[in-house]
Amino acid sequence: MATAVGDERRRGRNETEEERADRMWGELIQEVRVAQTGVQILFGFLLTVVFTPRYASLEDVDRAIYIVTVVLGACATGALIGPVSLHRLVSGRRVKSQAVTWASRMTFVGLMLLLATMTSALLLILRVATHDGYVPYLVTGVLVWYLVFWFGVPLWTRRRYSSR
């Protein structure tokens, strides 16, 4: 009896490998939906900037930041849509647990690219809006904010509450 309780505590749920893969896939897709929406809205906005009259008057540095930001946004979009394509191409092949692993990796890469996209977009917007020397400090502060809430708190929570 003590062994069953210990095993249950260790495993967390009484589910087969296939059930676990199904559950993890569903959770991952929900997470991807949230991130995809944000990156697609940001990317769509970025695509319109080049067609505004103000774009022609941007300094070379700001144009370079814009180009880097658009490329990062395109890469983030691709990485966050990747799990959907992966699922479609391997569906029914009995590799769901491996698909979950790879989709999770794609999602993490997508989140890192989204982080870079948002940071560089903020840098561009604040440089154009203010031309002030404090912009890098503001952007760094926001980047730290993202890092704390996207990675710091989740990693702390995982360490603090995971069974050893």
pLDDT for res 164: 62
pLDDT digits (tens, 9 = 90+) for 116-159: 999 999 999 999 999 899 999 999 999 999 999 999 999 999 99
Task: Give this prediction's pTM.
Answer: 0.86
pLDDT digits (tens, 9 = 90+) for 4-29: 444 444 456 889 999 999 999 999 99
Q: Name which of 124, 96, 128 is nearest 22 in CA terms.
A: 96
Q: Which amino acid is at 6?
A: G
CA atoms within 13 A on the CB side of 55: 13
Whether the CB-CB separation of 118 and 42 falls below 8 Å is answered with yes
pLDDT for res 2: 46
Question: Residue 134: what are its φ and ψ, rounded to 5°?
Answer: -85, -5
